[in-house]
């Protein structure tokens, strides 16, 4: 087949090549409209939920990201809620603790700051040769009855836990066995700022209760002794007052066995008689002079310690002692001790603090020792030889 040479030289003809300019313009305009229409149709399809594959992938990625963000936000909100709940609980607990501590502090401040009855009566301003800090002071020779120190000794005042010496005396003179068992009950939970190691249901002997009452001044122990007395607490208190009358304690009255009731009162001179009476019982002497005591309460073992700073001091030979404190009574202490060749009963009431209470005792003992030395050294001297 022969191809004409002119055919090889001719250029291929395109549709638009033979079109006039106007027709070409119309065709271009049509193509542009076609593209615009196609884009519009695509947008319309996307708006109506009919997605092309690329759009579907883009929306899926966006949806996943949105879900992840929502999950993160929900998790953050949940964590924040838990944190807020914990903070609220901690804040509430802290508020309760703060309120409780403020209440305790306020109670301690009221207890320590309030003046005693003796202070309100102006007894602490009473002058004495020894410059004692206590409102009341008294020293008597146990054997001869000679009074060596007397300061407001006949004024009846609250005596706080010194009351427990009368409680011990009534128990010692009763027919109740000291090895008899006593069960602690809720009734023994007397109202007091002082703590107690005795719990409801504990079973203890009367001797163990005496040690708890006299060594660490446990109020529940004293109450349990009175509650289990024949006739109950009322009969016990009646026996306390009958014993006081028998001892000649004319300025004394007892309303309860613990000393927490401020109606309990006595004078220093009356307390001298009480100490001399309880000294006759070895059980009381032993229990009141222990620096510490370990007693059994059922399966438990309880430890008690004294608050008397003179116990354990080798320079003191103490046969009986008892301390006490309430707001109305102030700090109180009674001691039976050997000083030289004498057996003395010493009493201080309404001391401003424990240190002054012990210091006044030492001051009175030093005074008696000096007087004994003076009598010993100058008993045979004639007056003019002294000068």
Residues known to be catalytic: 161, 164, 217
State which H helix or E strand residue 165 sits in.
Answer: helix 164-172
Contact status, residue 337 vs residue 314, Cβ threshold 8 Å: no
Measured distance between the N- and C-terminal CA atoms of the chain, rounded to whole angstroms: 178
Name the token pair of 327.
Answer: 């707001």
Strand runs (DSSP E) across the chain, as ranges?
136-141, 147-151, 181-183, 203-205, 292-297, 300-305, 318-326, 330-339, 342-351
* Distant-in-sequence, close-in-space partners of 101: CB < 8 Å, separation ≥ 6: none
Nearest partner of 351 among 149, 135, 187, 162, judged by Cα: 135
Edge-to-edge strands, sheet with 342-351: 147-151, 136-141, 342-351, 330-339, 318-326
């Amino acid at each position: 087949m022969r191809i004409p040479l002119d055919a090889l030289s001719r250029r291929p003809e395109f549709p638009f090549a033979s079109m006039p300019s106007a027709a070409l313009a119309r065709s271009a305009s049509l193509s542009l409209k076609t593209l615009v229409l196609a884009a519009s149709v695509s947008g319309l399809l996307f708006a109506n939920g009919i997605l092309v594959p690329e759009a579907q992938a883009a929306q899926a990625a966006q949806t996943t990201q949105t879900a992840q963000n929502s999950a993160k936000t929900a998790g953050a909100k949940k964590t924040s809620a838990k944190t807020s709940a914990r903070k609220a609980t901690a804040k509430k607990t802290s508020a309760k603790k703060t309120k409780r501590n403020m209440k305790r502090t306020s109670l301690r401040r009221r207890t320590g700051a309030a003046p005693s009855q003796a202070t309100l009566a102006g007894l602490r301003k009473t002058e004495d040769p020894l410059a004692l800090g206590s409102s009341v002071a008294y020293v008597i020779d146990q054997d001869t009855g000679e009074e060596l120190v007397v300061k407001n000794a006949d004024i009846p005042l609250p005596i706080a836990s010194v009351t427990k010496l009368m409680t011990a005396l009534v128990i010692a003179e009763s027919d109740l066995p000291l090895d008899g068992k006593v069960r602690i009950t809720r009734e023994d939970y007397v109202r007091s700022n002082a703590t107690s190691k005795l719990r409801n249901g504990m079973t203890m002997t009367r001797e163990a209760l005496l040690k708890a009452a006299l060594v660490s001044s446990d109020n529940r122990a004293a109450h349990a002794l009175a509650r289990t007395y024949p006739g109950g607490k009322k009969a016990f208190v009646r026996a306390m007052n009958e014993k006081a009358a028998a001892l000649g304690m004319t300025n004394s009255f007892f309303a309860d066995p613990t000393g927490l009731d401020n109606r309990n009162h006595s004078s220093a001179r009356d307390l001298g008689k009480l100490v001399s009476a309880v000294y006759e019982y070895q059980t009381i002497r032993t229990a009141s002079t222990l620096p510490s005591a370990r007693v059994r309460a059922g399966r438990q073992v309880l430890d008690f310690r004294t608050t008397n700073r003179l116990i354990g001091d080798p320079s003191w030979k103490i046969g009986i002692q008892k301390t006490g404190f309430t707001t109305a009574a102030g700090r109180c202490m009674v001691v039976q001790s050997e000083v030289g060749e004498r057996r003395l009963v010493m009493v201080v009431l309404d001391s401003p603090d424990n240190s002054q209470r012990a210091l006044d005792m030492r001051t009175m003992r030093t005074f008696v020792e000096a007087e004994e030395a003076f009598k010993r050294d100058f008993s045979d001297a004639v007056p003019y030889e002294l000068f």
